[in-house]
Amino acid sequence: MKYSDSGVDIDRSNEAKRRIKSLVRSTFTEAVVGDIGTFGGMYRPDFLSLQKPILVSSADGVGTKLKVAFLSGIHDTVGIDLVSHCTNDILVQGAFPLFFLDYIASGRVEPAVIEQLVKGLAEGCRQSQCVLIGGETAEMPDFYQKGEYDLAGFIVGMVDESKLLGSRKVEQGDILVGLRSSGLHTNGYSLARKIFFDQEKVRVDSYVESLGRTAGEELLAPHRNYLPLVKELVQSDDLHAMAHITGGGITENLDRVLPANLDGAVQRGSWEVLPVFRYLRERGQVEDEEMYRTFNMGIGLILVVARDRLSRVEDYLRTRNEQYYLIGEVVPGTGKVRYV
């Protein structure tokens, strides 16, 4: 017998690697040591500009948003989702990405699909100004259903200790500034799919009038990468913290940057709730508390801004034509999010 008789085809894997080499190399900088194909990616960081450099890392997946990609046959956006999610997770601590690694696993390696996935990963890395330094493509017969795969990623970034953002800097009176999301990002898809596809019987290519586009276009809208927008703000002293609004919504993400003696008072109605969330709430008859614990509700990133620096931050966002919302403030409390 041959290995291919068990469902693992080395030739298909080699073809996939051939297709993605140029995509991966397109993200390389002078900091990359060596080339594709070594056992480990090598990166030479520049620590000279930092007094006390700290490495910040994160790992994540795309979740059941992948199911929408399987249904639609569109595979070049979920890679952007993955890099954006990981980038935002370290960005809120003040760190900028250095390099990214991916893990792709499927029952059968399809070179064309792998190529599209890596195309999205490379685009995500360009947006994040980091290097796609390596990864793993695993073929696992009988483990995944036909046409399905899993996608995960790992990011490493760097920040000077003096520029770390977080709860230790947050003060009473700080203003909460919400930045718009592009949709669901990568969270709440199990519930969203149930409402769209199971309850409402909407097809992935069905046009949804209230959304102004097809269900697939709405649900595959890439997770927004906030690094290009807020990089200069992070380097200033105008921010005390940031919260990436992912699984758990505002309720269970903003509290991660609050000290034990302060609350985040969030004013409902102070920002525009995107049409997709109104659709999900109405069609699924989802209670408000559940909506705010499951979805980002149109706010993908919250800036915790020093009150005396608010005008500077607003000027910065306006010059970049960024829509933002003043959604609340930091008040005395017990480290929780409260809606007012």
d(CA 237, CA 46): 23
Confidence (pTM): 0.94
Question: Radius of gyration (Cα) for the chain, nearest Å?
Answer: 21
Which of 22-26, 206-210, 268-272 has the weakest average pLDDT? 22-26
Q: Which CATH number fits domain 167-339: 3.90.650.10, 3.40.718.10, 3.40.50.300, 3.40.50.10490?
A: 3.90.650.10
Q: Which two tokens stand for residue 106?
A: 């499927």
What's the mean pLDDT in 17-24? 89
Return the CATH fold of 3-163.
Answer: 60s Ribosomal Protein L30; Chain: A; (3.30.1330)
Whole-angstrom distance, CA of residue 53 vs CA of residue 205: 48
What is residue 1's predicted lDDT score, i.e. its pLDDT? 77
| 129-138 pLDDT tens trace | 999 999 999 9
Question: Residue 23's pLDDT is what?
Answer: 92
| pLDDT number for residue 117 | 97
**Residue 141 reports pLDDT greater than 80:** yes
Residue 302: both structure tokens together: 């919250």
Q: How far apart are CA 36 and CA 24, in angstroms?
A: 8
Per-residue pLDDT band at 116 (split at 50, 70, 90): very high
In the chain, list all ranges with CATH 3.90.650.10: 167-339
Distance CA 8, CA 108 (A): 7
Dihedral (CA of 12, 18, 20, 24) sign: positive
d(CA 300, CA 224): 8
CATH 3.30.1330.10 spans which residues of the chain?
3-163
Q: How far apart are CA 23 and CA 215, in angstroms?
A: 29
Position 261 scores a pLDDT of 97
**Residue ranges with strand state E in the chain:** 32-33, 42-43, 53-61, 96-106, 131-139, 149-160, 175-180, 207-208, 213-214, 239-244, 262-266, 299-305, 324-332, 337-339
The percentage of residues in the chain with a pLDDT greater than 90, rounded to a whole number, is 88
pLDDT tens for 65-99 read 999 999 999 999 999 999 999 999 999 999 999 99
Tell me how far apart the alpha carbons of residues 214 and 219 are, in angstroms, rounded to a whole number.
9
User: In DSSP terms, which residues pair with 43 in a beta bridge?
Assistant: 32
The per-residue pLDDT for 304 is 98
